[in-house]
Every structure is written in C-alpha cells, then in structure tokens.
Structure 1
Amino acid sequence: MKKKISILGLVFLLIFSFTGCGSKAKDTADYDQATMQNYADTIVQSFNNMTDDDLNRFEDMSDLELNLTLMQSGLPIEGDDFVTMIEAWKAGQKECGALVEVGEYEFTTTNSGAVLTTKAQFEDRDGELSFTFDDKMNMESLTVNADYATSEILKKAGLNTILGMGTVFVVLIFISFIISLFKFIPAIEKKFSKKAKTNNAAPAPAAPAAPKAAPAAPAVTQAADNDGELAAVIAAAIAAAEGTSTDGFIVRSIKRRKSNRWS
C-alpha cells in the first residue's frame, strides 16, 4: 500500500514538474534575434530607398495583392500592419527628415512578443526606431520617435498650453456673446407674434346698408285720393237714399263744415 502511494506521489510530482517546465519554456520562447534584425534592416532600407509615390502605391494596393507581395518578399507581416508601418515612417520623416544611418539593435522581450530598438540619425534631428514582433516573430509595428532637446520640449509645451488656453478663452467669449443675445429674444418673439395675429385676424363684416326710405307721397295727391274715395262713398249713400244709381248725378266737390255736427 505504501509503495502504491509513493508511486502516485512520484507521478504527481512529475506532472507538476513538466507543467512548470512547459510554462517556463513558453514564457521564455526562443527568438532568432539575427533573423529579426534582418527583417528590421530590410524594412528600413526598403522604406529609405522608396519615394513617396512608391510608398503610396503600396497603400493603394488591395489586401489580396499586398499580402501576396509581402509573401513573395519573405517578410512575416500582414498587409494592414505593413500599411501602418508606412504611415509611421512617413510621419517620422516629416518630423525628423531623411534617414542617415542606424545604430546597433537592442533586443527585449515582453509578455506578448519581442521588441527591437535602435538609435537613428536623421537629417533634421536624431531619433529612435522601434520594431515589435509577436511570439511567432511576425512583425507587428514600427515606431519612429524623435529626440527633442529640453528647450524644444518646454517650447512645445508652452505653445500647446497657450493654444489650449486661447481656444478655451475664445470659446468662452463666443458663449458669452450668445448669452448676451438672449435679451433680444422676447422682443423678437413679441414682434413676430403680433405680426402673426395681424395676419390671422379676419376682416369684420361690413354693416348692411340701411334701406332707402320710400319717397313720401305728395300731400296734394294723398288729399285728392281721400276726396275721391269720400265722394264715391257719399254718392253711393245718396243713390241708396233716393233709390237711384250713381249714374244720375255727379259729386263735384266736398266741403267740411266748420261745425262737426251735421245740420
């Protein structure tokens, strides 16, 4: 029984030992530094000998065409990463000028891969080139860092501070100007509302014209009509009293007596 326990303990010990060795071997992956430096030198020499048109031609290639070109060149790099490296190189030349020479490479490892760095001399200022690789030694990026003197750093920092503060003040002044215009809003709103009410008000209907009064009949005509009717009535009464018709006499005039009583 004790022998079986000892064997099991030895097996577990070996398993843990292999596990530890495996993780350690993975953490300290073997990199071919010489090969990686050759890749970096190829990129530096190729970019330095290319014109802007040549670099732009690579950027204009399709993904398939660019990947095939890189595969034929033997460079272990993806097309997207290669385009990013071209952009970094162009920005570095704009900042530092054309490359003159590079120094010795320094090799360091990281959790995800390795980094090659070297001092570089450019026409305008010195700088540093940095290449990153993954754990399979595929190139991932290129960085060009310019070396600035302390005076240049302070000057650049001062300019950035002035630019930032100036921008803030300009924005604050603009905001203050906008706020100052708010006092005119009520007057403008009142003006437009009054105009809208005037345009929307319907015209009042005109009062109907008073009917024209009928012309008054002349007094003489009215009197004549009344006398005629009265004469006809009297004639009819006389005819009835005499037992004759109205054809036998004519009533020519009628006169009112001063007294209201008949005589």
Structure 2
Amino acid sequence: MKKKISLLGLILILVLSFTGCGKSETTEYDQATLEQYAEFVVQNFEAMTTEQLDSFSDMRDLQLDTQLMNAGLPVDGEDFLTMISSWEAAEEECGAYVEHGDWTMEVKNDGVSLTSEAKYENRDADIVFSFDEKGNMESMDVSAHYSIGEILEKAGLNTVLGMGTVFVVLIFISFIIYLLGYIPKLQEKLANKDKKVEEKKEAPVQAAPAPVAAAEDDAELVAVIAAAIAAAEGTSTDGFVVRSIKRRKSNRWN
C-alpha cells in the first residue's frame, strides 16, 4: 500500500513538472520604443518623394541593410521595400497622407502590432505596424476605410465581373464543342469531294463518232427520192434522171 502511494506521489510530481515546463514566459514589449520606430518610418515616408522612395529598390541588399542599421531601424531590407510598396499603394488609393492619431498596441502569440487611425486626402485608413517577438519590424499595412455603400458597390461589381467571366468561359466552351462536332462533317465532305474527283479521272473517254461525208449523204438522199418518184410514175430512176437533166438544160437555154 505504501509503495502504491509513493508511486502515485512520484507521478503527480512528474506531471506538475511537465506542466511547469510547458508554460511560456510572457514577452514584455517597450511600447514607447516601438512607437518611435513607427513614427520614424511614417515621417520619413511622408517627407520623401516618389523618386527617393524608388531609389531604395535600386540599392544592393548589403547596402540597404547597412543603411537601415545605421539609421537604427530594426528591419530587414526586403521587408523595408515591402513597406514602401504599401505606403505608395495607400496614397494611390486614399490620396496624400495628412496625419495620424495615437498608437494602440496589441500583443499576439507571435509578436505585437501597433495601430493608428490615419487621415488621408480622400479617405481615412488604419496604419498597422507588425513586430516579431524580438521587436524587429516585419511589415506595415494600410487599410482604407470604406462606407457600407462603397463596400456593397464593390461587392456588386466583383459579382458582375465574376458572372461575366463565367459567361464568357461558357460561350468559349460551347464554341469549342460546336467545332468538335462540325469537324468530322467537314472531313467527310472533303473526303467525298476527293473521291468524286478521282472517279472522274478514272472514267474512260468515249471516242467521238466518225463524221459522215456530206456528199455521200446527199447522194443517198437523191437516190432515195429518185426511187420513190420512179416507183410512183412507173419509170426507172435512170429515165427520171435523164428527164431532169433535159429539163434543166431547156430551162437554161430559155
């Protein structure tokens, strides 16, 4: 019995020790320092022109990282270029930057974020800076504020565009199906046409009938007519021919 109690006590101690190891230490962040980083970025982005901001992308990675380190800004060069793109996109969408309010810090599992409501020329927006657990700056996002009407209008436009795209794709698919059904018929017509051409080439050419001499036809016709007249008058064909010749001569002299 004592052994069982000792064993249960040992198991309880092990469980409590594992539970204690599973607890993570809460990271404490210096909000004032993080706000200084955020203010430094906003003020420099506001003061720079588009050409100056774009010049950072022309720098080499080592040169950009060195310049950011000398400025005391804990951010990677690639992340810094992404922040510049976000700033430029925000000004295209919301207009020129005017000002922003106080910063609000929110602690997350993988870091911390600072949020401030900013005022731009055309609409308001939220500027959000994200930091990792070591306090290094990871990103900057600008979320524009839209009214309910603008949100519904944009949603409706996206719906129309989506339906239009689907409609065009369906028409294209129908056209492809129609072509697939018409191609065999076209091939059959072409095959039949080629077959008829080959049959015409293989057909024998009939010889033209030999022409009959016109003189022979006339002689046979005269003989037939003479025989018919002789039979009617009871005379021979020779007498008919002689009388015909005499009549022609008498008519010629007269």
TM tier, shorter chain?
0.5 to 0.7
Give the deviation of 1:197 after TM superposition: 8.5
1:70: which partner in 2? 68
Shift of 1:91: 1.1
Counterpart in 2 of 1:48? 46
TM-superposition CA deviations, 1:162-189 (whole Å, max 9, x none): 1111111111112212222233201333
Closer, same or farther: CA 22–191 of 1 in aligned 2, 3 Å: closer
Over residues 9-44 of structure 1, what are the superposed CA-to-partner deviations in whole Å (9 max), with x where a residue is unaligned?
Answer: 9xx79x949x849945x2x21111100000000111
Residue 73 of structure 2 aligns to a residue in which SS? coil
Please point out which of 158, 161, 164 is paired with 1:163.
161
Q: Tell me, what secondary structure is at the counterpart of 2:101?
A: strand
4+ residue runs of structure 1 moved beyond 2 angstroms? 19-24, 181-184, 187-198
2:226: which partner in 1? none
Return closer, same or farther for 1:191/1:111 CA change in 2, 3 Å cut-off: same
Percent identical pairs in the alignment equals: 51
The one-letter code of the counterpart of 2:100 is V
Question: Would you say 1:185 and 2:194 are equivalent positions?
Answer: no
**What is the alpha-carbon distance in structure 1 between the residues aligned to residue 172 and residue 192 of structure 2?**
31
The root-mean-square deviation of aligned C-alpha atoms, in Å, is: 3.0
The whole-number CA distance in structure 2 between the counterparts of 1:63 and 1:193 is 67
| Other-structure match for 1:81 | 79
Change (3 A) 1:63 1:193: farther
Deviations 1:133-157 (A, max 9, x none): 0011000000000000000001111
Shift of 1:59: 1.4
Question: Could you say which residue in structure 1 is the equivalent of 2:110?
Answer: 112
1-side partners of 2:122 and 2:87: how far apart? 15
* C-alpha distance in structure 2 between counterparts of 1:21 and 1:178, whole Å: 65
Q: What residue ranges of structure 1 are gaps of 5+ in the alignment?
A: 205-263
Which amino acid in the other structure matches residue 144 of structure 1? V
1:245 match: none
Check 1:190–1:72 CA distance in 2 against 1; reply closer, same or farther (3 A cut): same
Q: CA deviation at 1:191?
A: 5.3
Three-state SS of the structure 2 residue aligned to 1:47 is helix
Aligned residues: 192
Deviation at 1:80, TM superposition (A): 1.0
Structure having the larger proportion of residues in helix: 2
Highest Rg: 1 or 2?
Answer: 1
The whole-number CA distance in structure 2 between the counterparts of 1:22 and 1:70 is 37
Q: Which deviates further from its counterpart, 178-187 or 83-92?
A: 178-187
